[in-house]
Structure 1
Amino acid sequence: MDEQTVHAVERAISFMRQNLADRITVDDMAQAAQFSKFYFTRLFQRVTGVSPARYLSALRLEKAMRLLLNSSSTVADISYQVGYNSPGTFSSRFRSSVGVSPITFRQLGGYTSHLAADSRVHRMDRLGATIRGSMRVTEGGRRGFTFVGLFRDPIPQGPPASCALLPGPGPFVLNDVPNGKWFVHAQSIAIGAEENVIVPKESADAPYVGSCGPIVMRRDASTIVVELLLRPQRTVDPPVLLAPVDVRSDAMRNFRAENVPDVVSVV
């Protein structure tokens, strides 16, 4: 992807972030990117993997996650600040994407207490297939707990069809993968930054992300091998709309200490 194209999409995303409380149209985004509406829509999809409207919706919820943790505003006030006209609609969208209600998200400090795959995936759709993979880290800095999940689309949101929590980047296995088209997403927490996953204190503490897809699982497939490259999240990457598992307990820290190697290989 050429640099000029990426910068155009970044201009549109910056415009979205600055105006989340307002009604934003595709025409507005295209004007910020300095392209025609129709060309911009195709361009944006190619760079980010999702449509401008879906990216904007994800940005609104990402901003809401931060406000719930960093402000004392009510849920209703936050819903208006991120562009929703109805607090009820906002709460419903938030719960379906993040996995918990806005109030519960705030009460839990931005974490979820457990890791669970989507129980709504019909048993008959599960093929008994497996996705095996490995992860590499592109830049320096030790990574700790790493979540890997299987999602229906490029935006990591809602309960995954299959998932795993690892003590650090490395090999992973996702079993009982259902039929269909899937995206694998990984998020790796910096060691020592477990307290501030959603709103890191410093850029070096921000989680690393990696993804691949679409992966098409058919009935004649048994095992698919993938590789994920973990790196700092870019402006054009879709927001991660997941409440991370709370890894701050002593038991989880001991799990990490016993299993994470002294050195994580760097590409």
Structure 2
Amino acid sequence: MDSAVERAIGLMWERYSEPLSLTDIALPLSRSYFARLFRDTVGVTPGRFLAAVRIFQAKQLLVDSSLSVTDVSFAVGYNSLGSFTNGFTTSVGVSPGRFRRLARSGEFTVDSQRPKPGTGLGAVAGTVSLPEGLGNARVFVGAFPTPVVQYPSFGGVILDVPSGRPTCYHLSDVPEGTWFVHAVAVADGFGPVPWTDRTSLIGRRDAVTVTADSVTSAAMRLRRVRLVDPPVLLALPVLEPPPALAAGGGCPVIGPRSAPVSSGL
């Protein structure tokens, strides 16, 4: 990764609560050159990445602190509660207040966006595989219109993937068009207490074309999260890997279903 992009991303994570400008983030490079470099490297603009960092940190504060929604908005760099609420709801899929209530109630559902009436629908299917050296994982897979894991998603499912064995997935009722297929996962480690050494994983397939009444193939190979990856914004259930998975064939799809809410990876 380019050192200027790495420095900029580090700056965003450290100073997201401040009114950072593109000039602040780009220094010592020119704004135009840096903006092109950042987008070519990361896949989104610097402004979009910074907005994602702020929303992600807001999710953390809503779950882990007793700050009011207004105070949370100021703490993550917004100077308008209305702008924060709109940005949060658009990215996460629920309002800040509702997100907090769902987190405290311990339940959440994976709700895929309903296609517009009359839209041609297809499907995306394939396998999900884990990196070597990890235990079982619980994985969310869905189709998204952007390179950021944010609302809305289509055809979302949750499945359990065993260590060392790819597992099938199938996203149904995906509108025809071109999509990013994202996977978000948490994997156990090995040993007598594998849940004490968990790893966050992601995967992405770009430009997946879906046509009506057909199935598009897209294999998902997950990897560890990198600094360059935009944070996960969509409200997802806690991805709690199962302690054991039965051997055998088939494609065990769990979701959507109710589960505890997660503030993200």
Q: Report the TM-score, using the length of structure 2 for normalisation.
A: 0.80
- Residue 184 of structure 1 is matched in structure 2 by 181
More helix by share: 1
Q: Where in structure 2 are the equivalents of 1:142-221 lying within 5 Å?
A: 142-168=135-161, 170-191=167-188, 204-218=197-211
In 2, Cα distance between equivalents of 1:260 and 1:103:
39
Of 8, 27, 37, 2:4 maps to 8
* 1:69-120 superposed Cα distances (whole Å, 9 cap, x missing partner): 222221111101111111122122212211222223223337752122102x
Letter in 2 for 1:114: T
Which residue number corresponds to residue 112 of structure 2? Answer: 117
Paired position in structure 1 for 2:26: 30
Q: Distance in 2 between matches of 1:98 and 1:12?
A: 24
Q: Go from structure 1 to structure 2 and tell me whether the alpha carbon gap of 1:113 and 1:10 turns closer, same or farther (over 3 Å shift).
A: same
Work out whether residues 136 and 243 of structure 2, in 8 Å CA contact, stay in contact via their aligned partners in 1: no
Match of 2:60 among 60, 66, 73: 66
What is the distance in 1 between the residues matched to 2:147 and 2:107?
A: 21
Separation in structure 2 between the aligned mates of residue 148 and residue 41 of structure 1, nearest angstrom:
30
The corresponding residue for 1:141 is 134
With over 3 angstroms needed to count, the CA separation of the structure-2 counterparts of 1:170 and 1:244, relative to structure 1, is: same
Q: Deviations over 1:238-259 (max 9, x none)?
A: 11102222567xxxx8xx5675
In the comparison of the two structures, how many residue pairs are matched? Answer: 238
Residue 196 of structure 1 is matched in structure 2 by none
2-structure distance, mates of 1:18, 1:113: 30
Tell me, what secondary structure is at the counterpart of 2:154? coil
Equivalent-residue separation in structure 2 for 1:247 and 1:51 (angstroms): 29
Please tell me the residue identity of whatever aligns with 2:77.
Answer: G
The one-letter code of the counterpart of 1:103 is G
Q: TM-score, normalised by structure 1?
A: 0.80
Aligned-partner Cα distance in 1 for 2:42–2:4? 12
Q: Distance in 2 between matches of 1:180 and 1:43?
A: 28
Q: Is the partner of 1:207 in helix, strand or coil? A: strand
- Contact kept? 2:125, 2:215, Cα under 8 Å: yes
Q: Deviations over 1:113-170 (max 9, x none)?
A: 2122102x3132233x221121222242213321101100000111312111112262
**Structure-2 residue corresponding to 1:229:** 221
Q: 2:34 aligns with which of 37, 40, 43?
A: 40
Match of 1:185, as an amino acid? H
SS for the counterpart of 1:64 is helix
Deviation, 1:205, is 2.6
CA RMSD of aligned residues (A): 2.6
The 8 Å contact of residues 139 and 160 in structure 2, kept in 1 or not, is answered as yes
- Shift in alpha-carbon separation, 1:106–1:45, aligned structure 2, 3 A: same
Contact preservation (8 Å) 1:61, 1:241 = yes
The residue number in structure 2 matching 1:100 is: 94
Report if the CA contact (8 A) 1:126-1:179 is conserved.
yes
How far apart are 1:218 and its partner, in Å? 4.2
Gaps of 5+ in 2: 190-194, 249-265
